Amino acid sequence: MDILDRLVEQILALPTWAQGLALALATLGSEDLSCIAAGLLAASGRMHTGLAIAATAAGIWIGDLLLYWVGKRWGRQVVRIAPFSWLLQAEDLHIASEWFARKGTAVIWATRFLPGTRLAAYVSAGALGMRAPTFAAATLAAVLVWTPLVAGGAMLLGRGVQRWIEAWRLWAWPVFMLGALLVFVLIKFAIPSVTWRGRRLVVSRWRRMTRWEFWPMWFFYPPVVAYIVWLAVKHRSLSVLTAVNPGLPAGGVVGESKAEILESLARAQEHVARAAKLDASLVVESRVARAQQFLQETGCDYPVVLKPDAGQRGSGVLIARSEDQMRRYLEQIRVDCLIQEYVGGEEFGIFYYRFPRESKGHIFSITRKVFPRVVGDGNKNLERLILEDPRAVCMARFYLEKNSQRLFEVPAAGESVQLVEIGSHCRGTVFFDGSELATPPLCELIDRISQCFEGFYFGRYDVRVPSEADLRAGRNLKVIELNGATSEATSIYDPAHGLWTAYRTLFRQWRILFEIAAENRRLGAEEVHWTRWPGLLARYRAGARSHP
């Protein structure tokens, strides 16, 4: 006995009033099957046609309202949870909400006649803030048309609908997925394209999807992870990589202390930006007092740099220009942090390595970091300048958020406006390959600084210098940060480099890391067993969630 026969027989075994209730409840499982069952019951004369259609229509409408309520109650929270947060941002929902308020009725009517699309559309209607009375009226009208059509068709065709049922069972899931995809495309691309600003944001999204330098790490890194696993098999240990820098906890794989690293470079202090650690165990007033003491002792003034002691990729970094900004930061952060003198000038990333058997090290790569700028024309506001710029539009959402307080200011003709101040690619800075800057004076200086740090063999310096000429000459250089084993040769993000160039560079980088680590292991360096890594990662993530 097929599924439809079972449904009909179970309904017929009930009293008349219960038959109507059962049909209404059955719609929560399958609206289409319930409509067909109602038609067959009416055709056989075992249920009044009006009762069958009315019960089914009521059940369908109540189900629609429940989906709307689910979207209203929890829909917007979904965008904060992966994987939905990777696909939809709050601004997407804001734009779609305004569009849904104007065009939502047409969407409701269309999806009523497209099985598989309703769940996504009706939940979206609730999440996007469509007015409840409007939704209720639109769905009721659609149900009052749809239900008699389907039930009436079943009455006319009788048992011949069985072939339709089998086809429905086969295609229900693919049609649902197609409906969900259509709703996603509608919210993500079609709706924003109604306005010029929306079209530019669609361009931004498209360029981020098609240019590998903007791909998320979870999408870009699998081939690199596979290569690391192969290297671990080759060297008969995954943990060996933690021996690459014996002077750093776990080799600098995760969670290394920036303060301890800078202290380890004390013998090269003339080339290291001054900094002090502010312990999370101190109350806010004590941390503020410690920061003020640092300023007095060093003679530094605002602005100063504040950042988590174990942060990565520019996370939680603030350039504080006043004591009030500094205080607010220290009130919010819940982990150990660093106060550091602000060093002006141009910023570069210098990747260094040295084998233990060698007396001199090597510069693996140099990254020229360019802080993005737009130039005013005296007519357009900052928002329009960002959205029109062919490069800035790629990071438009980020730049618009970071400059939200001045988006409607109109820069003077020829005025250059810097959009970010943090030298991280994921924070909007543009990276270029600066390998040609590796002059002998610079190589000698970086090697001298590195050998001041006992137990350091592999990592990336972030440095600032007054000019490129100073960098070439190896003078006036200040180290603002040094990262260990999991550093990247960030020159790969040069827009001129292809995807294969990036992978080839990273493969070579990781091969060198494992070779240095294996040599250190032979010399007696200890490894951190991989079973301890989850604990290290958990502590790092707990700290990351405490960033302002």
Instruction: Retrieve residue 344's tokens.
Output: 């002006």
| pLDDT score for 542 | 55
Min mean pLDDT across 139-148, 188-197, 440-449 is at 188-197
Q: Is 398 among the domain residues?
A: no
Residue 428: left if φ>0, alpha if ψ -120 to 50, beta else—which one?
left
Query: Where is average pLDDT lowest: 70-74, 350-354, 357-361?
Result: 70-74
* Domain presence at residue 106: yes
Asked if the model's pLDDT at residue 341 lies above 80, the reply is yes
Sign (positive/negative) of CA torsion 241, 245, 246, 252? negative
Regarding whether 244 and 188 lie in a shared domain, the answer is no
Q: Do 174 and 33 share a domain, yes or no?
A: yes
What whole-number distance in Å separates Cα of residue 509 and Cα of residue 529?
22
Query: Worst-scoring range by mean pLDDT, 20-34, 273-287, 346-360?
Result: 20-34
Higher pLDDT, 56 or 31: 56
Task: Look at 171 and 320; give whichever has higher pLDDT.
Answer: 320
Token look-up 């490894």 returns 527
Q: Give the residue ranges of DSSP H helices in 44-161.
A: 49-70, 76-78, 84-87, 90-112, 118-127, 132-157
Q: Where do runs of H (alpha helix) occur along 211-317?
A: 217-220, 222-234, 258-264, 284-298
- Please tell me the predicted confidence (pLDDT) of residue 68: 79
Residue finishing a domain among 194, 219, 248:
194
User: What pLDDT band is residue 24 in, cutting at 50, 70 and 90?
Assistant: confident
* pLDDT at 433 > cutoff 90: yes
- d(CA 418, CA 164) in angstroms, rounded, equals 62
Q: Is residue 481 part of a domain?
A: yes
Buried/exposed 318-344: b ≥16 CB within 10 Å, e otherwise: bebeeeebbbebbeebebbbbbbbbbe
Kindly report which listed range (62-66, 180-184, 524-528) carries the lowest average pLDDT score. Answer: 180-184
- In this structure, are 268 and 188 located in the same domain? no
Residue 13, domain member (yes or no): yes
Q: Determine the pLDDT at residue 272.
A: 93
**Range in 37-41, 143-147, 347-351 the model is least confident about:** 37-41
For the chain, state the CA radius of gyration: 31
Provide the pLDDT for residue 504. Answer: 96
Domain boundary among 194, 212, 243: 194
74-111 pLDDT, tens digit each = 766 655 555 444 444 555 555 455 556 556 666 676 66
Residues 168 and 276 in one domain: no
Q: Is there a single domain that holds both residue 239 and residue 160?
A: no
How far apart CA 179 and CA 187 sit, in angstroms, is 12
pLDDT of residue 7: 56
Q: What is the 3-state secondary structure (H, E, C) of 403-424?
A: CHHHCCCCCCCCCEEECCCCCC
- 252 within domain boundaries: yes
With 80 as the cut, is the pLDDT of residue 351 above it? yes
Ranking 180-194, 196-210, 250-264 by mean pLDDT, the lowest is 180-194
Backbone angles phi and psi of 375, in degrees to 5:
-115, 125
In sequence order, the β-bridge partners of residue 176 are none
Task: Please tell me the predicted confidence (pLDDT) of residue 135.
Answer: 79
- Residues 161 and 242 grouped into a single domain: no
Strand 275-278 to strand 458-465: parallel, antiparallel, or no bridges (unpaired)? unpaired
Half-sphere exposure of 12 (CA within 13 A, CB side): 13
Q: How confident is the model over 121-177, as pLDDT tens digits?
A: 677 777 777 778 877 888 788 778 777 777 777 666 654 445 555 555 555 556 556
Number of separate domains in the chain: 2
The pair of structure tokens assigned to 198 is: 């929306």
Are 139 and 40 found together in one domain?
A: yes
Rounded Cα distance, 501 and 435, in Å: 14
Q: What is the CATH number of the domain that holds 483?
A: 3.30.470
Residue with the bigger pLDDT between 295 and 119: it is: 295
Domain range for 171: 3-194
Residues 177 and 247 occupy one common structural domain:
no
Whether 169 maps to a domain, the answer reads: yes
Is 391 domain-assigned?
no
Q: Is pTM, for the whole model, over 0.75? A: no
pLDDT at residue 527, as a whole number? 85
Statement to judge: residues 189 and 240 lie in one domain:
no
Q: Residue 233: how many CB atoms within 10 A of its CB?
A: 10
Give long-range contacts, CB 8 A cutoff, 24+ apart: 155-161.
155/39, 155/40, 155/42, 155/43, 155/49, 156/43, 158/40, 158/43, 159/40, 161/4, 161/36, 161/39, 161/40
pLDDT of residue 87: 46
pLDDT average, residue stretch 352-370: 94
Tell me the average pLDDT of the chain. 80
Name the residue with higher pLDDT: 64 or 348.
348
| Domain endpoint, select from 194, 214, 244 | 194
Distance CA 37, CA 3 (A): 10
Among the residue ranges 24-28, 414-418, 469-473, 541-545, the one predicted with the least confidence is 541-545
Based on the domain organization, do 347 and 475 belong to the same domain?
yes
Residue 1 reports pLDDT greater than 50 = no
227 within domain boundaries: no
Q: Is the pLDDT of residue 257 over 70?
A: yes
DSSP-derived secondary structure letter, 364: E
Q: 239 and 162: one domain?
A: no
Return d(Cα 330, Cα 324) in angstroms, integer.
10
Looking at the structure, tell me whether residues 243 and 362 fall in a common domain: yes
CB 428 within 8 A of CB 493: no
Q: What is the mean pLDDT of residues 306-329?
A: 82
CA–CA separation, 165 and 41 (whole Å): 16
- Mean pLDDT, range 473-496, rounded to an integer: 92
pLDDT (tens digit, 9 = 90+) per residue, 491-537?
Answer: 999 999 999 999 999 999 999 999 999 999 999 888 887 677 676 66
pLDDT band at 203 (very low <50, low <70, confident <90, very high): confident
